[in-house]
């Protein structure tokens, strides 16, 4: 895997911050860098954001009926991918007998390198079936087909699903390689702390982060308050007929990718759950 492009004018410490520096950043933002479970959760969010959401995938999620991934699709894939990454990190902890961040620091780096490599292959596999039911290749092919049919798009002939997927794989390889470079320079904590720090700014409001339960509380508090400022004096959007809000709440906390289509659309487009902060 190739290493990411780095700013040659920055110092080595800036390019490869130590786990101790990252730990301090996390603590300064109110997180618990010595809490293994919390760091695994945040690392899973950060890895998904770095290796999926903030890549060429955004092109396949573009508006104007071009991107094959809708907002609802992204909500499901983001949360499901986060869950899969988290489970793989937890499995590594169990297999290595890791019970604390001190254990992570002293863990076998080769075993964690295997995890990073397998996640890289999983994210970039063109045949990977997303939780939405289509493959990664299908998403790219449909996006290009939509773009070429759009009157305002001019897609060069040499842009193909294969070339798009190759560009995406290069991005993920760079992110994975950077994590391994930091681990080689310091210790395995870098693989958790690095993405965890990234998630502070680039994955606000994500399922899986500490505080997400409070976000869900805020959403349902707003749904129970006709005078909440988020409605701007308008009626609260009614959920689809037959919706059990207690079940919706439980799924939001545990398996949001399983929320029924109509309810998911209601949450995203009518309620605007992502924008309800308190």
pLDDT tens column, 62-99 = 776 899 999 999 999 999 999 999 999 999 999 999 99
Residues 227 and 172 in one domain: no
Residues 241 and 176 in one domain: no
Query: DSSP assignment, residue 56?
Result: G
Tell which residue, 260, 252, 262, has the closest CA to residue 220: 252
Tell which residue, 216, 202, 217, 277, has the closest CA to residue 29: 202
Residues 32 and 167 in one domain: yes
Helix (H, G, I), strand (E, B) or coil at 210: coil
Residues 195 and 235 in one domain: no
**Residue 187 and residue 181: Cα distance in Å, rounded?**
10
Domain count, the chain: 2
Residues 70 and 186 in one domain: yes
**Residue 269 and residue 71: Cα distance in Å, rounded?**
9
Establish if 2 belongs to a structural domain: no
Residues 178 and 230 in one domain: no
* pLDDT computed for residue 6 by the predictor: 45
* pLDDT computed for residue 10 by the predictor: 55
- Residue 125 has a CB neighbour count (10 Å cut-off) of 14
Which one of 172, 202, 232 terminates a domain?
202
Total number of residues shown for the chain = 278
* pLDDT computed for residue 13 by the predictor: 66
**Residue 45 and residue 211: Cα distance in Å, rounded?**
13
Tell which residue, 130, 112, 111, 133, has the closest CA to residue 122: 130
Backbone dihedral angles phi then psi of residue 199, each to the nearest 5 degrees: -70, -20
* pLDDT computed for residue 2 by the predictor: 40
- Residue 240 has a CB neighbour count (10 Å cut-off) of 14
Establish if 95 belongs to a structural domain: yes
Residues 189 and 64 in one domain: yes
* pLDDT computed for residue 205 by the predictor: 84
Query: DSSP assignment, residue 118?
Result: H
**Residue 110 and residue 92: Cα distance in Å, rounded?**
11
Low-confidence ranges of the chain (pLDDT < 70): 1-13, 64, 278
- Residue 74 has a CB neighbour count (10 Å cut-off) of 19
Residues 25 and 148 in one domain: yes
Domain that holds residue 259: 212-275
Residues 267 and 129 in one domain: no
Angle at which helix 109-124 crosses helix 161-185, to 10 degrees, equals 170
Residues 70 and 26 in one domain: yes
Q: How far is CA 74 from CA 63, 67, 130, in A?
A: 12, 11, 10
127 in Cβ contact with 137 (< 8 Å): yes
Torsion angle (degrees, nearest 10) of CA 131, 42, 12, 182: -70
**Residue 17 and residue 20: Cα distance in Å, rounded?**
8
Tell which residue, 169, 173, 50, has the closest CA to residue 116: 173
Establish if 38 belongs to a structural domain: yes
Residues 92 and 227 in one domain: no
* pLDDT computed for residue 230 by the predictor: 93
Establish if 53 belongs to a structural domain: yes
Query: DSSP assignment, residue 67?
Result: S
**Residue 36 and residue 210: Cα distance in Å, rounded?**
12
């Amino acid at each position: 895997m190739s290493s990411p492009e780095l700013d040659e004018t920055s110092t080595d410490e800036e390019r490869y911050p130590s786990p101790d520096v990252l730990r301090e950043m996390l603590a300064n933002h109110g997180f618990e860098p010595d809490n293994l479970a919390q760091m695994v959760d945040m690392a899973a969010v950060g890895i998904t954001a770095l290796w999926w959401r903030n890549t060429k995938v955004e092109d396949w999620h573009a508006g104007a009926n071009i991107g094959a991934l809708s907002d609802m699709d992204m909500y499901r894939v983001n949360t499901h991918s986060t869950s899969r990454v988290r489970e793989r990190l937890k499995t590594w902890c169990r297999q290595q007998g890791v019970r604390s961040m001190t254990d992570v620091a002293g863990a076998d780096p080769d075993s964690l390198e295997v995890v990073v490599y397998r996640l890289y292959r999983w994210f970039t596999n063109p045949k990977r079936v997303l939780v939405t039911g289509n493959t990664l290749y299908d998403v790219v092919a449909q996006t290009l087909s939509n773009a070429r049919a759009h009157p305002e798009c001019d897609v060069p002939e040499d842009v193909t699903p294969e070339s798009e997927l190759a560009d995406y794989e290069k991005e993920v390889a760079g992110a994975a390689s950077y994590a391994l470079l930091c681990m080689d320079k310091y210790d395995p904590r870098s693989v958790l702390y690095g993405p965890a720090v990234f998630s502070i700014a680039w994955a606000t409001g994500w399922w899986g982060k500490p505080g997400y339960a409070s976000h869900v509380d805020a959403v349902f508090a707003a749904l129970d308050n006709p005078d909440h400022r988020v409605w701007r004096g308008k009626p609260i959007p009614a959920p689809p007929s037959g919706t059990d809000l207690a079940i919706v709440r439980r799924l939001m906390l545990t398996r949001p990718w399983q929320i029924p289509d109509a309810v998911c659309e209601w949450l995203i487009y009518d309620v605007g759950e992502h924008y309800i902060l308190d």
